[in-house]
Chains A and B, each alone.
Chain A
Amino acid sequence: MAEEAPVVKDTTVTPPGADAELMQRMFATMHLIRTFEERAAEEYMRGNIGGFLHLAIGEEAAVVGSVLALRPTDPITSTYREHGQALARGSEPRAVMAELFGRETGLCHGHGGSMHLMDRERFFFGGYGIVGGSIPLAVGLGFAISYRQEDGVALVMFGDGATNQGVLGESMNMAKLWSLPVIFFCLNNQYGMGTAVDRASADTQLTKRADAFGIPAHRIDGMDVLAVQQAVSDAAHHARTQHDPVMIEAIAYRYRGHSMSDPDRTRPEDEKARWRARDPLVTFERILLGEGLVTAEELAAVRDANQAAVDDAVAFANDSPPVPETALADDVYTDPWSDDSRGSARMPRRSE
């Protein structure tokens, strides 16, 4: 069974009134991600998006709270459910949608797709398709910060499922052993594909994975964007100033199945309803209005702007030319050599 009541620890849920601009930005970004992904689902059904499409609808608070708590130059890696991280970092919705459509104008020129977005200029170091596989990469990014004596922090986002991959333990051990500024951000959406945490993990308190290495760890409410933002801000401060890794486990819930090909028949309906009732956008909107940080008119303008941006992104992707066939072998290497070993092209005759 999924978690009933996330334990909020070491965080404050009091809106920091001085940060009204940040709070407005957090709402706008969460809403952009929600709008973008709902539209992506429609485009997938229309056949405009291929492969796997993993949606983070319901998880926007964890995504936005963590990304916006960092400096824009702090490197991030993520999973294959990473449209939100790219958008939160400021990637153009056009370029993200075009990548989903597999077009030349996409973030990765159509070589990546939904699972493999990267925006190097914005220090988003990519979405990776093997569960747990990107965790040591983030430790390497943290290592590079430390090696160059810079003051950045690397954040790796992974799911509850990844906590059962051995490489997490290896990565945590190295990060602590070498005092690397890494935030291990576990977005616990309570299911590894269709398997609930308590069916996969002998101890469902996932922060205990960090205890083994002496890494401070905090379990927070991943549906509360303020709690996430506060916790990651604190973690980043700790990692930056103490040169020490931190783990955060944010309990959240995804509203849809694992990917578009998962009809989501195994999770209990009442559980889904219970979590939907805590929708991070609705909750946050109530706070913003209640605290007088935005007006209803301003929220409406944000919604309209996001809808327009997503419509524009889809139109852009639709109108973008396909990836040219000549790009097939682009970017395999930095210095490509001409050696297409597929035989048909190279069967010379002696008489020639």
Chain B
Amino acid sequence: MSTEAAAVSTSYREALTQAMREELERDPDVFLIGEDIGLFEGSFKVTRGLLGEFGPDRVIDTPISEAGFVGLGIGAAMAGLRPVVELMTVNFAIVAMDQIVNNAAKIRYMFGGQVSVPLVIRMPGGAGHQLGAQHSHSLEAWFTHVPGLKVACPSTPYDAKALLKTAIRDDDPVIFLESEGLYAKKGPVGGPDDLVPFGQAAIRRTGQHCTVIAVSRMVWIALDAADTLAAEGIECEVVDPRTTRPLDMDAIADSVRRTNHCVVVDEGWPECGLASNIATRVYEECFDWLDAPVQRVNAADVPIPYARNLEQSALPHAHDVAAAVRATLARGA
């Protein structure tokens, strides 16, 4: 990341806007639909300027009807359009889960491949702004659980743009999980034809002592932890899967077989979570190579509280990751 920091910077938010603008220009079948994305320019201003550029037929403000307009997007996608649906936050996806799980994910399969659903559903998630229990979800695991969906979780501006472009051009439904905490994060971005394929992890930092697998905003706390640990002589390899479905298990296994230690970090809850799943797959594929049990770093197993100190206590931090790395290395073979 240090090399990127020096380059010309675009925010994660602007990177997403660029991706949508370029895809709207490229393909007339692409349209945007969601709550307050047009006139209001998005709750997080990700769609800033697009209504003016593309007009109300392609940048569509909706009523507060998540199940309804997600379902509309699925139907339009079945007819061959390429809707990019914005859910104001991941929390409101829960209202639309029937449409996402029962329709978007199933239609291609249960109808024997007669139609596909080239749909993107974008939404920010994550906690950290004292928004309380109902507005602080990290639901990567819910979506990743479901065959028929693809799940992208970009951690950098470059990936935000390139993965969103890949998602829009993909013929299957993609759940595109942005992180509220990363919208202002700056870094370089690619051009109109720079795509990142799904299922290809990025090694964010190389190291020989412990593999740290982290998604979305957690990549950054993992890198902070790696800096801290480097001062102690511990070199971490930070692996960012970039998409959790498909998951680049080859890259993960390759790293773990070299470091023989593994820590998995995700902002969701610990039970039946993303980290649990990745840890299981590491056990299956790297059992003989592991010198210690895999460590998970997650949010506390509680609804996310409001009070600042409690909220911070509930969320994973760099020091939690560093502690987990030290623990797995101390455990030994």
Please list the residues of chain A having a beta carbon within 8 angstroms of any beta carbon in chain B.
75, 77, 106-112, 116, 118-120, 125-126, 128-130, 133-145, 147, 154, 166-167, 170-171, 173-174, 177-178, 330-335, 337, 339, 341, 343, 346-351
- Complex CA distance for A118 and B288, rounded to whole angstroms: 48
Tell me whether A128 and B115 are in contact in the complex, defined as CB-CB below 8 angstroms, given that A136-B71, A173-B65 are known contacts. no
Asked whether B273 is an interface residue with its Cβ less than 8 Å from the other chain, the reply is: no
Contact (Cβ within 8 A) B114 A174 = no
Residues of B within 8 A of A349 (CB): 288
Residue from B75, B109, B147 having most chain A Cβ neighbours under 10 A:
B75
Point out residues on B near A: beta carbons under 8 Å: 31, 57, 60, 62-63, 65, 67-81, 83, 98-99, 102-103, 107-116, 147-148, 150, 171-172, 199, 246-247, 249, 280-281, 284-285, 287-289
What residues of chain A lie closer than 8 Å to B79, measured between beta carbons? 75, 140-141, 144-145
Interface centre among B70, B112, B284 (most CB of A within 10 A): B112
In the complex, chain A residues whose CB is within 8 Å of the CB of B109:
111, 331-332
Contacts of A136 in B (CB 8 A): 67-72, 74-75, 99
| Interface core residue of B79, B108, B246 (most chain A CB under 10 Å) | B79
Q: Given A140-B77, A174-B65: A130 and B114 within 8 A (CB)? A: no
Using A337-B246, A343-B284, A347-B287 as known contacts, say yes or no to A108 and B75 having CB atoms under 8 A apart.
Answer: no
Give B104 Cβ to nearest chain A Cβ, in Å.
Answer: 10
CB-CB under 8 A for A130 and B98, given A108-B114, A125-B115:
yes
Q: Are A332 and B111 in contact (CB under 8 A)?
A: no
A347 and B284 in contact (CB under 8 A), knowing A75-B79, A109-B113, A177-B63? Answer: yes
CB pair B108 A140 closer than 8 Å = no
Q: Which 5 pairs across A and B sit closest by C-beta, in order of nearness?
A: A140-B75, A136-B71, A170-B68, A144-B79, A108-B112
- Beyond A126-B111, A135-B71, 18 additional contacts (C-beta under 8 Å) are A108-B114, A126-B107, A130-B102, A138-B75, A139-B68, A140-B83, A143-B75, A144-B79, A145-B79, A147-B57, A170-B68, A173-B65, A173-B68, A174-B63, A330-B113, A331-B112, A339-B246, A347-B284
Interface of A is mostly: loop
Establish whether residues A107 and B112, one from each chain, have CB atoms under 8 Å apart when the complex forms: yes
Please give, as numbers and ranges, the residues of chain B lying within 8 Å of A142 by CB-CB distance.
Answer: 75
Looking across the interface, which residue of chain A has its beta carbon closest to that of B119?
A140
In the complex, chain A residues whose CB is within 8 Å of the CB of B57: 147
Asked if A167 meets B71 with Cβ closer than 8 Å, knowing A140-B79, A334-B172, A337-B246, the reply is yes
9 of the cross-chain contacts (CB-CB < 8 Å) are A109-B112, A116-B111, A133-B103, A136-B75, A137-B78, A140-B72, A343-B281, A347-B285, A347-B287
CB within 8 Å for A139 and B110 given contacts A133-B103, A174-B63: no
Cβ distance A92 to chain B, nearest Cβ, rounded Å: 14
**Contact: A140 with B74, CB < 8 Å?**
yes
Complex Cα distance A222/B288, Å?
68
Q: Which residue of A lies closest to B148 (CB)?
A: A332
Residues in A neighbouring B99, C-beta threshold 8 A: 133, 136
Q: How far is the CA of A348 from the CA of B247 in the complex (A)?
A: 18
Q: Beyond A137-B78, A174-B62, A349-B288, is A112–B68 a contact (Cβ under 8 Å)? A: no
Known: A108-B112, A143-B72, A144-B75. A339 touches B247 (CB 8 A): yes
Query: Which residues of B lie under 8 Å from residue A143 when comparing CB positions?
Result: 72, 75-76, 81
